[in-house]
Amino acid sequence: MMKSIKPLSVTYLISNWLSISMIFLISEAVIQYGVFAGFVIVCTFLLAFCAALPFLRPILSNSAPVKNRSWLNWLLLAVWLLEIFILHLLISGVLLHTFFNMHNTVSVFFTVAVILLIITFLSKWRMVIFAVKNIKFILISSLAIFLPTYIYLQKGLESVYHDLLHYHPTILHNEQKGIWMFITIAFLIFFSKFLLQGELLAKYTGPVLHKGIRKLFVAVFIFSTFIMAFSTMTVVAITQNLEVSHVNELLVFLIKKLSTPSISHLIGIVLYLSTLLTLVISFFQFEDRLNLRIPQVLMIIAAILAMIIDHFQLTLLTIYSFAGIFISGMVLIFLFHKMSINIKNLK
């Protein structure tokens, strides 16, 4: 008799979803679409999850999901990994430049060198990766609890609301142009990435489908609390009228302004460590699915693209949106093609 595999824990699953990039992406969304952008993202995330469930059901009901090794699946995973690498390499550049006065170009290639050293070490100790995921979860969870509380204690909720009401009234509502386009794109991205994670979600849900789906809803709601926590910090940053050269720098400049040098450097180190851990975990997670040396090649390509993107001052949300649109477009084409084949077979 085949031994049943113990389902993954909720910590393991959410650790795969959590990343430092979500802090910066949500912050940019709040700047563009108002204080309720975090709530809009959460609602869109929940809706995308519910819409993806019927398509995930065949995978979740199978205790031993079959891995998809088609060229399309590899392409989508490669684009997704490239997106993760580019976002976090750019973030590492912002962090090292802001907190430690390191040039952006030097920061990116310094991060790549550190990542390659860590990967070389962990390749011989693959069992350590599980502990690395737990450390990443603890660090980002601590940031989700500490940063919003710390920032609001420094400024005060009443003073923040006063500044918004009198100096930034448009931020208090979600009537900015393009909000529905933002919701549509976010829905397609979340929907597509849920489908691409079918194998991981099946490992988490376990053999009993209805219990597994309840567990998934718990994980989704927990992750939604992280989104709401991080979305509140940018509201304070907007009220400070900080002079930054790029929207991606707004949050880290706020932390630097409100903190003493020792506190700001400590927060900067935690943010940077979390960025490194996200890159390392993503590398091994996608290496198991892509095989060969594709992740190493993508790391180098991402470093070069990060320098080009930094030169043209593209925002993280723009990069995430374009990569997500490509992934979701390919996933939808595949779904429509599969549905058309099934319809023809029924005739």
- Could you read off the pLDDT of 48-76 as tens digits, one per residue? 999 999 888 888 776 544 455 577 778 88
Give the pLDDT band of residue 5 (cuts 50, 70, 90). low
Confidence check: pLDDT of 272 > 90: yes
Give the pLDDT of residue 45: 95
Give the distance between the most distant pair of CA atoms in the chain.
71
Token pair, residue 308, equals: 């080009």
Give the pLDDT of residue 67: 52
**Is-contact 259 79, C-beta < 8 A?**
no
Confidence check: pLDDT of 188 > 90: yes
Instruction: Give the angle 340-48-91 at the CA atoms, nearest 5°.
Output: 115
Residue with tokens 């709401």: 228
302 alpha-carbon distance from chain centroid: 16
Instruction: Give the angle 81-316-237 at the CA atoms, nearest 5°.
Output: 135
Give the pLDDT band of residue 243 (cuts 50, 70, 90). confident
Give the pLDDT of residue 163: 72
d(CA 139, CA 133): 10
Give the pLDDT of residue 344: 65
Residue with tokens 């995430």: 320
Nearest CA to 92 among 306, 309, 257?
306
- What percent of the chain is predicted at pLDDT more than 70? 88
Give the pLDDT of residue 239: 75
Residue with tokens 């723009």: 318
Give the pLDDT band of residue 305 (cuts 50, 70, 90). very high
d(CA 151, CA 16): 27
Confidence check: pLDDT of 228 > 70: yes
**Is-contact 114 196, C-beta < 8 A?**
no
CA 106 → CA 135, 314, 320, 327, distances in Å? 26, 19, 23, 30
d(CA 230, CA 22): 8
Of residues 261 and 206, more confidence is placed in 261
Give the pLDDT band of residue 320 (cuts 50, 70, 90). very high
Give the pLDDT band of residue 96 (cuts 50, 70, 90). very high
Give the pLDDT band of residue 301 (cuts 50, 70, 90). very high
DSSP codes of every residue in 56-84: HHHHHT-SSPPP---HHHHHHHHHHHHHH
Of residues 296 and 302, more confidence is placed in 302
pLDDT tens digits, one per residue of 103-115: 888 999 899 999 9
d(CA 226, CA 320): 19
Of residues 154 and 273, more confidence is placed in 273
Of residues 75 and 291, more confidence is placed in 75
CA 190 → CA 89, 128, 177, distances in Å? 22, 29, 22
Cα distance between the two ends of the chain:
40
d(CA 285, CA 300): 18
Residues 6+ apart with CB under 8 A from 129: 122, 280, 281, 284
Of residues 26 and 163, more confidence is placed in 26
Of residues 64 and 245, more confidence is placed in 245
d(CA 23, CA 144): 9
Give the pLDDT of residue 3: 40
Break the chain down into helix, strand, coil percent, rounded to 5.
80, 0, 20
Give the pLDDT of residue 65: 46
**Is-contact 38 181, C-beta < 8 A?**
no
Highest mean pLDDT among 2-16, 64-78, 244-258, 301-315: 301-315
**Is-contact 99 255, C-beta < 8 A?**
no
Mean pLDDT of the chain: 83
Instruction: Give the angle 69-70-73 at the CA atoms, nearest 5°.
Output: 90
Confidence check: pLDDT of 1 > 50: no
